[in-house]
Amino acid sequence: MIMTKKPTLSKKVNKDVVLCETTNRIVSNRTSDLLLEQAVPFSKSWRRVPFFKRRNYNGARNVCVISISRTQYGHARRVLNLLEDRDYKRLLLNII
């Protein structure tokens, strides 16, 4: 009887990564609308910014975090290039 190794999955499979963050509600809605139009699956959540870290976010109390599957990252970044410049500049993109 031949013993074969059981295949192992990468630890990166089915892990969500942060695509971008923004403190502007209008930009977050436009970004999520664009991702929906282009059929990119994502999740969107609002997180509270701690008081002493608000300087990093220009005093904002909440930040919108848009997360996607690691396998969809390249496609989602190309879709974000379709945003208008004024909206694109308000996104804090996460590079993986």
pLDDT at position 81:
93
pLDDT tens by residue, 3-13:
566 666 666 56
Q: Note the pLDDT of residue 96.
A: 77
Which domains, from first to last, does the chain contain? 16-93 (3.30.70)
Q: pTM (2 decimals)?
A: 0.80
- pLDDT for 29: 95
16-69 confidence digits (pLDDT tens): 899 999 999 999 999 999 999 999 999 999 999 999 999 988 899 999 999 999
HEC string for the chain: CCCCCCCCCCCCCCCEEEEEEECCHHHHHHHHHHHHHCCCCEEEEEEECCHHHHHHHCCCCEEEEEEEEHHHHHHHHHHHCCCCHHHHCCCEECCC
Beta-bridge partners for 92 = 21
